[in-house]
Structure 1
């Protein structure tokens, strides 16, 4: 394993933890704007909410988490390339 690859793994692990917090916070802010006056998104196992309320929340959460993960992974790879001079391949 190359130095760049090792650094990338360590760097992205730490950023991944922070990214989870960022994604959760971002989703909560978005949900407050689109979520029909509800503070929290409906839980998929809550029997008081029908599919038409649960599915949009799940899709939005997945999109936010996926987007944040992509930004973090790409940013980490760019940072490692700047440090080591080579792109970390997976």
Structure 2
């Protein structure tokens, strides 16, 4: 599909539930990936859980680093899942669900 073509309304509506399921899958996968990456990049004493904003045991620098890493991982996983879902939809239905 060229960038000038727009997706039909029925295709957009049909893709919505697929996109929602994809978002749930992406969130679960991103969470699991983040936990594994966090264990690899932190000292053993901190590896159990990433610091959260309201935990006073951690410096702001540590909280921000964890949040930035988590956000980056989520964005990459979400983009991969969204793109894969759109390509699958296009193969099955012949239309790209975006645009």
- For 2:15 and 2:82, the matched residues in 1 are separated by 9
- For 1:27 and 1:20, the matched residues in 2 are separated by 10
Match of 2:42 in 1: 35
What stretches of structure 2 of length at least 5 have no aligned partner? 1-8
Query: How far does residue 10 in structure 1 lie from its aligned partner after superposition?
Result: 1.1
Match of 1:84 in 2: 93
Deviations 1:30-66 (A, max 9, x none): 0000022221101111111111211110000000111
What stretches of structure 1 of length at least 5 have no aligned partner? none
User: TM-score, structure 2 length as denominator?
Assistant: 0.83
- Structure 1 runs of 4+ with >6 Å offset: none
Q: Which has the larger radius of gyration?
A: 2
